[in-house]
Chain A
Amino acid sequence: MDIVIEAEGIGKTYDGVKWALRDVDLNVNRGRLVTLLGPNGAGKTTLVRILTTELKPSKGRLTILGEDALRNPERIRHRIASIPQEAKPIYFVTPYELVFSYLVFRGFSISDARIEARRALEELGLWEVRDKVMNNLSGGFKRRTLVAMVLASGAELIFLDEPTTGLDVFSRRSVWDALARLKGEATVVLTTHYIEEAEFLSDEVVVLNNGSVVARGTVDELLSKVEGEYVVEAYGLNKPVFEGYSYVKLNNRYLVYVNSSEESSLVAREYAKMGGKALVRRKTLEDVVIRLVGGWSNDEASGDLDSN
């Protein structure tokens, strides 16, 4: 399996003082769907902008699709497609016009652009609204039109920076279906805050925090990095009462990692007796990310972070 992205020691500073990315190494194999996870400000978007050759890193080496992406970005740009974070479509055009013109910009002939635009719009459930002006469409339709642009592009490497943000559950799943169908054909790098999206789609997950890669692996590999099978999510008391258990404090709540459903019920009951509230659920990738980065916000204290 050949490597599509080879990033070595990538670092980025905007002001020469603070590093948005520090020594990031990343290898992505062809046909894989890799998800970048991490809290806001972790460096996901900066990394994506560097990998799409839009942003120049301050240091490091980058080979994309076999080419030196720092020296010869123009050789690979037409083989990549991307949707930047918070991208929006031009408001006075229709989904069909936007996808069609994007494909022409990518070098499709007029007739091929028509065929592929139709295929992508149908795939994402946009054909019925193809002639409606963007301004009259909901946010979900707008976002899906952008996804249709890159899916129709036939690019070897696709970057989607939070493509489903703001979409309802139905729209989100139509994007998931389209991405799932791409698996094996194109290499996809996805960033998202929806953990279930990462679990459902990813061949591999890379967790970033403070500009560094803190963990990477398949979903199962990452899940195994955190002890326990169950999580007790407890809130309402200021003091932790989980002696002998590993836990993380996240804002006002504690996530307690336990091995069995019996243990989790026991912990939840004890906590409720003391006046707190607790719910029990199976461990997900979200718990892994919270555990690895010590919580999504910067002001929390963690109970047992050295086990990272």
Chain B
Amino acid sequence: MMRLQGIWTQIKLVVVFAWLYGWLAVVREPFWLVSSLLTPLSIVVIMTIFGGLHYLYLGLLGGLAMTVSASGGFTIIGDAVYLRLELKFQSMLLNTRLNPISYTLGLALSELTYALPGLAIFIVLIQATLREPALTYLLATPVLALEWVTASMLGFTLSTFLSDVRYGWSLSGILGFLLGTLPPVFYPAYLLPTPYIALVSPVSIASTVLQYLMLKVNYPSMLIKLGVLTLLAEALVFTVVALRKSRWRSVK
């Protein structure tokens, strides 16, 4: 009973953290929100101009996958380092009921909260153009959730190695490009020598699964199964590593 109460308390604190650092940011800092959407939307616009309607669909799905990881996940690197080194907020939270695991999850949820309006825009555009049934979204949501967990936990783990705030912002941008643009996120994996290259990044896995579900791209079913399994394994591994790295006590 005590244990359940403890878990409930931690869930409440995670939500309060997401309100403080995610929701209030959405309400008070809309410019950042617009700027975080510019990269995926620019890619969609260019793809549509040069590739036509089919590439608009691919671009929107890629934009959705990229926004989940880039705005909702990798940005955690910059924010975690900022809160730890610049504001010393992590040090202040040391002496609260918020435990290190809840802090990590709260920060991840803040990033997702901050990305929600952007995600909503992409979902509205996808629905307006593709008119997918609700079932497709039900299948896509767990995949996007796994992508978010993987990106957030990988991002948080990397943030613990950084000792300069500027590196945090840079690294989230670099990861966004390396994992969210370079691999087959905005273009189909069948254009590559082997579509299995899509497995290199959680973002391209999510994008490939979305293309399979919504655009009925003829990928081998083995690729989709392997993709989901890889995403699941990455989410688990990075979560365990992040939670191990999220201890409060430092030696430096």
Contacts and interface: CB of A to CB of B under 8 A. Distances in A.
A101 B92 CA distance: 12
A93 B24 contact: yes
Interface in A99-117: 101-102, 104-107
A88 B87 contact: yes
Contacts of A137: none
B20 A90 contact: yes
B194 interface: no
Contacts of A55: 249-252
A97 B24 contact: yes
Given A54-B249, A90-B87, A107-B97, A149 B24 contact: no
A106 B96 CA distance: 4
A56 B249 contact: yes
A105 B94 CA distance: 10
A217 interface: no
Given A14-B252, A53-B249, A92-B25, A104 B16 contact: yes
A73 B20 CA distance: 26
A83 interface: yes
B249 A78 contact: no
A119 interface: no
Contacts of A73: 248-249
Contacts of B99: 74
Contacts, number: 91
B92 A77 contact: no
A306 interface: no
A77 B98 CA distance: 10
Nearest to A155: B95
A140 interface: no
A52 B96 CA distance: 12
Given A55-B251, A56-B250, A93-B24, A82 B87 contact: no
B46 interface: no
B86 interface: yes
Contacts of B137: none
B88 interface: yes
Nearest to A104: B16
Given A55-B250, A56-B250, A92-B28, A102 B92 contact: yes
A102 B96 contact: yes
Nearest to A159: B95
A80 B93 CA distance: 11
A305 interface: no
A11 to B, nearest CB: 14
Interface residues of A, number: 36
Nearest to A85: B88
A84 B21 contact: no
Interface string B67-106: 0000000000000000000111101111111110000000
B111 to A, nearest CB: 14
B132 interface: no
Contact of B16 (A14, A56, A105): A105
B164 interface: no
Nearest to B97: A107
A180 interface: no
Q: Which of B13, B17, B95, B98 has the most CB of A within 10 A?
A: B95
B20 A93 contact: yes
Contacts of A93: 20, 24, 28
Given A55-B250, A90-B21, A97-B24, A77 B95 contact: yes
- 7 cross-chain pairs, A with B, having the tightest CB-CB distances, nearest first: A105-B96, A87-B88, A84-B88, A107-B97, A92-B28, A84-B91, A80-B95
Given A52-B94, A54-B250, A84-B88, 7 more contacts: A54-B91, A55-B252, A73-B249, A85-B88, A97-B24, A105-B17, A155-B95
Interface of B: 9, 12-13, 16-17, 19-21, 24-25, 28-29, 86-89, 91-99, 248-252
